[in-house]
Amino acid sequence: MGSPGRVLAMLSAVAVLGLGAVACGGVSSRQSVSVLGTWTDDEQARFADVLRPFERQTGIDVRFEGTRDFEAVLAGRVQSGDMPDLALMPSLGDLEQYARGGQLVALDDGSGAVDLARIQREYGPTWLGVGKVPGADGRDREYGLVVKGTRKSLVWYSGAHYSWPVPSTLDELVATSQEIAATGTPPWCLGMRSSSDSGWPGTDWIEDILLHQATAEDYRSWANGDLAWTSPTVRKAWETWGKLVAPAMVRDGPAGALLSGFLDPGAAMFDRRPGCYLHQAGSFAAGVYRDSAGQPATDARYFDFPAASGDRRIIIAGDVLAMFHDTPAARRLANYLTGTQAQEIWARAGGTISPNNAVTATAYPDDALRALARSVEDTACADVVFDASDAMPAAMRTAFYQGVTEFVANPARLDRILAGLDNVRLRSYPAVAAGDSPPPEQFCPSGSG
């Protein structure tokens, strides 16, 4: 090799070394993504398990902050301009609020950075479209993706202690409850206390009764703000619930219900002498029941919330991934969390229903969760609705929480409660406040259900 060749080779070597140094510098300044969610304690530990392979494979540092007061904390951070990169929102109402406010990044921007084509292939039709809400320009865009699903419309009981027939209609549920109450033990375990969201278990009751007494269309119309709270349909649901939460029907009476944590009263179902027999709760309760002594309950069973008539209808809920900052790390994490690997880790940990149909049935830890996951897939999309309170605007949701709390304390004030809720409805839904009819629900993709 001549002199010019040697010079060229040396320059190449220097360039390679320089690039190597730059690359090393890149590795040392590790990418990170901040995530805000509702999970604390065990749920946070499960999420850490889900994240571990991602962090190992990508080198991206995921900084997760879990808080039970998610809504308040996120509102505070948005107000102070310090949003997380990603938020895992339990409420579609919040999703829509931030999308309309222009704070969220649309995931269907056509860049393909978030692999929506794959997600549409893998996700069940019921879960797709949940996060499609209007943005600042009023156009429906994909602002959220469900990453952790919950199947609601369930009533849990102890297989060892509950000795009555499983009710198949709403009337039978009321009759069975009254029959149990006549034995001197209240039928229902109910806890309404839940940090800044106290009252939400009561909203689940109203939603279930309304869905199963009326129709899925009525339910959606109510959740959308179109159907008035003072309408006979909604009022009837509250009155039915009133029969089920009368003082003799609930463990420790209304005061006990209002002051107990939402999952705590369920423990009394599994005691040697049960303090109550039935607990309305979602699939998140699977595998987490313990008796009052703290021993895991091995005989937890469930039945579907009974319909007044007709086919099964179910309520689902979920944590929806939304993006505040469009960064490569955030997009990679969004792809990962919606993918099969993360979803199977989550499913294996229990207490969750995967929205991703590519997750194998064997990933679930028990038959109950397997069956619950399948039930969402097997139910016609038109008969699956999203948790109404989670889909409502924040002001409506908060008023709903307060309304059910007030109702448990004093059911005689129903008229005042419903009138108050209707006033909030007229102000809090953008379309209703503008004097328009809310847009029709676009929950099911065309051709499904």
Residue with Cβ nearer another protein (68 or 161):
68
Q: Report yes or no: 314 and 207 within 8 Å, Cβ to Cβ.
A: no
Measured from the CB atom, the residue of 95 and 314 that comes closer to another protein is 95
Which pair of structure tokens corresponds to residue 424?
Answer: 């909030």
How far, in Å, CA of 235 to CA of 417, rounded? Answer: 10
CB of 403 to another protein, least distance (A): 6
Contact residues: another protein, CB under 8 A: 34, 40, 63, 65-69, 71-77, 79-80, 82, 193, 195-196, 198, 246-247, 253-255, 258-259, 261, 395, 398-399, 402-403, 405-406, 408-413, 415-421, 423-424, 427
Q: In the bound complex, what is the minimum distance in angstroms from residue 429's beta carbon to another protein? A: 13
Phi and psi at 50, nearest 5°, equal -65, -40
Sequence-ordered list of residues with C-beta below 8 angstroms from that of 54, at least 6 positions apart, any chain: 60, 62, 332, 333, 336, 342
Tokens encoding 293: 């002594």
Measured from the CB atom, the residue of 242 and 445 that comes closer to another protein is: 242
In the block, residue with structure tokens 């009337």: 171
Q: What does the block give as tokens for 320?
A: 């929806």
CB of 44 to another protein, least distance (A): 10
Q: Give least dist CB 33 to another protein, A.
A: 13
**Closer of 146 and 258 to another protein (Cβ):** 258
Nearest CB to another protein, comparing residues 119 and 181: 181
Phi, psi of 230, deg, nearest 5? -85, 0
Question: What's the min distance (Å) between Cβ of 117 and another protein?
Answer: 35
CB of 172 to another protein, least distance (A): 25
CB 401 within 8 A of CB 389: yes
Please state the closest distance from residue 393 (CB atom) to another protein, in A: 12
In this structure, the chain runs to a length of 449
At CA 367, angle to CA 363 and CA 371, rounded to 5? 90
To another protein, the closest distance from the beta carbon of 265 in angstroms equals 13
Determine which helix (DSSP H) or strand (DSSP E) holds 253, and give its type and residue range.
helix 253-259
Nearer of residues 144 and 256 to another protein, judged by Cβ? 256
Which lies closer to another protein via its Cβ, residue 16 or residue 419? 419
Residue the block writes with tokens 């009155």: 239
Q: How far is the CB of 42 from another protein (least distance, A)?
A: 14
Nearest distance from residue 361's CB to another protein, in Å?
A: 35
Distance CA 386, CA 126 (A): 9
Question: In 27-96, where do the E strands start and end?
Answer: 32-37, 61-66, 86-89
C-alpha torsion angle, residues 65, 68, 74, 77 (rounded to 10): -60
Nearer to another protein (CB atom), residue 40 or residue 183: 40
Long-range contacts of residues 100-104, Cβ cutoff 8 Å, at least 24 apart: 100/133, 100/134, 100/135, 100/136, 100/430, 101/136, 102/135, 102/136, 103/78, 103/324, 104/135, 104/143, 104/144, 104/322, 104/323, 104/324
Q: Select 254 or 282, whichever has its Cβ closest to another protein.
A: 254
Cβ burial 247-260 (10 Å sphere, 16+ → b, else e): eebbbbbbebbbeb
Nearer to another protein, 193 or 374 (CB): 193
